[in-house]
Structure 1
């Protein structure tokens, strides 16, 4: 999915100096250097890179100095769909691993201020810290069965994507259920969300920026059918067709060189 995050672009999100002990600050940098050297040498042996987004392709070019073709990953748009028997709610939703670079802390700060209900699906090492920060309007659901997740997507007022995503498959799953997405305006979200039609972007990783986008969002109306139609561009069928065409092309190029 991406060059190793904690070795490259997300190093300080995982290893911020204020969170490390004295010995960790001494040990981690040389270990990461050796990991980067190994990673670069491994990348040099790859024939063709396929990235899951333009965002990741740019990262491959930056760190490995190699071009990458892009094939967006599939969402199960047959399973994730609008549910006619489930009414919409006023709740907002996050579906995410609870790790630093996902910036769940930013969403918690924002919803602590607004008082609106925020449901958080997922687990991870930041769970304890995030629970301490959250007010009662923010509910942690842990892992949920697929059917429950589909219902949560459908009923949500919007899915919140507070961090920069490689691609952001949850944004597509939510849209497949007819639900708009409010996302940080960088990374893979730019490739799956149509601003004003299937969601909105906020420009800065701050609670005030997300809060301003929430204020704007409340005044807008979205068409669930339009949102669903956008998600279908990332169906499993579309993915299989693109992957098959790519493999056929590369195989033909290989045979032509023999």
Structure 2
């Protein structure tokens, strides 16, 4: 539910200065439909001749041409937390091949990869976030236990030391750019990830002509996504709610929905067409979440649907407060009510137009320029 994969038509002009050079594009573990995987695909599309490496790919993923690490042949592929301490070693023993340019798509340790000596190989890294469970345990509970403080400190030191050879960083948001500066003491260019805004904007008339009579929540049903708060907000404002997605909190959220005074409907794992229809039928997307970037709010705005969410993280970039949505510094559901009542002040045309700046075409243009500048260095 975090992202939707674009088709081959989204590919831009390949990075010309890399045409005659050996290139590797690497990524962490490879799942089915994550936003980071889509970024990896789009980067690789700019360098069609590149070799593509991943730690492992999920069993149900049909993605040809991926070269998996030796970690994929071990039971550790089933447990990311257990595999984490080994990842820096894996990236240093990935292959004996040497490349002229290596581009990493990193949210853990992929940016530490070595496929050639730094004086001969140019290393570039697109960062979704410094590993949150290592650097930001308040965001990711997997690293928050007190007993994990010593190993977390050791991994932080290792992360900095093993990434000194990276010549250029790109960050997926200003939020992540700030973390790179704070944790690694490095600068990064902000290049927002690609969103298939054309698909969501180009809905059939039957989708466009809905009455927009409910509020919408979309995403994984996990604690930090605050779906319990979304239910409480709908209850406060007295509007029906649709919750789309899936996740381990489903039973808990259904119990909360039963206690609400408004109708709450669950849409489990809707496909892209169904999700688009849900966006177009919603009065607003409720998104009280602190995300690094957040693709779902952009998809909603591409459908002319405003966003009501937190004044934090990626929403500071993806939502224009007072024009394409409303942002609030609060997790109290009562503070969202006045903003929902102000929704008639906003226009769908302005909201859709704003979403266009996060298109796949825009990403292709910017990532190609970044690759060419970094490769020339």
Q: Same fold (TM over 0.5)?
A: yes
* Deviations 1:34-72, CA, capped at 9 Å, x for gaps: 443443344444332211111111111112221111101
Aligned to 1:119, the other structure's residue is in SS state strand
Q: Is the 8 A contact 1:88 1:154 kept in 2?
A: no
- Separation in structure 2 between the aligned mates of residue 150 and residue 11 of structure 1, nearest angstrom: 32
Instruction: Tell which has more relative contact order, 1 or 2 (C-alpha 8 A, sep 6+).
Output: 1
- Separation in structure 2 between the aligned mates of residue 101 and residue 249 of structure 1, nearest angstrom: 37
- Separation in structure 1 between the aligned mates of residue 137 and residue 332 of structure 2, nearest angstrom: 18
Pair 1:11 & 2:138 matched: yes
Q: Is the 8 A contact 2:214 2:283 kept in 1?
A: yes
Counterpart pick for 2:352 among 195, 204, 228: 228
Name the one with the larger strand percent: 2
Structure 1 unaligned spans of 5+: 18-24, 254-258
In the TM superposition, 1:149-228 aligns within 5 A as 149-217=275-343, 220-228=344-352
Q: What is residue 113 of structure 2 aligned with on the other side?
A: none
In the TM superposition, 1:15-94 aligns within 5 A as 25=145, 27-81=147-201, 82-86=203-207, 87-94=210-217
Question: Offset at 1:120?
Answer: 1.3
Q: Is the 8 A contact 1:175 1:228 kept in 2?
A: yes
Aligned to 1:79, the other structure's residue is in SS state helix
- Separation in structure 2 between the aligned mates of residue 40 and residue 128 of structure 1, nearest angstrom: 41
1:57/1:201 CA distance change after superposition, 3 Å: same
- Separation in structure 2 between the aligned mates of residue 28 and residue 129 of structure 1, nearest angstrom: 28
Q: What is residue 222 of structure 2 aligned with on the other side?
A: 99
Structure 2 unaligned spans of 5+: 1-127
**Normalising by structure 2, what TM-score?**
0.59
* Deviations 1:159-180, CA, capped at 9 Å, x for gaps: 1111111111111111111111
**Normalising by structure 1, what TM-score?**
0.85
Q: Is the 8 A contact 2:134 2:156 kept in 1?
A: yes
Aligned to 1:47, the other structure's residue is in SS state strand
Name the one with the larger helix percent: 1
Pair 1:127 & 2:247 matched: no
Aligned to 2:132, the other structure's residue is in SS state coil
1:78/1:215 CA distance change after superposition, 3 Å: closer
**Which one has the largest radius of gyration?**
2
1:173/1:12 CA distance change after superposition, 3 Å: closer
1:10/1:110 CA distance change after superposition, 3 Å: farther
Number of residue pairs the alignment of both structures matches? 244
- Separation in structure 1 between the aligned mates of residue 129 and residue 295 of structure 2, nearest angstrom: 14
- Separation in structure 1 between the aligned mates of residue 242 and residue 181 of structure 2, nearest angstrom: 37
| Cα root mean square deviation, aligned | 2.3
Counterpart pick for 2:235 among 105, 108, 112: 112
Q: Is the 8 A contact 2:236 2:333 kept in 1?
A: no
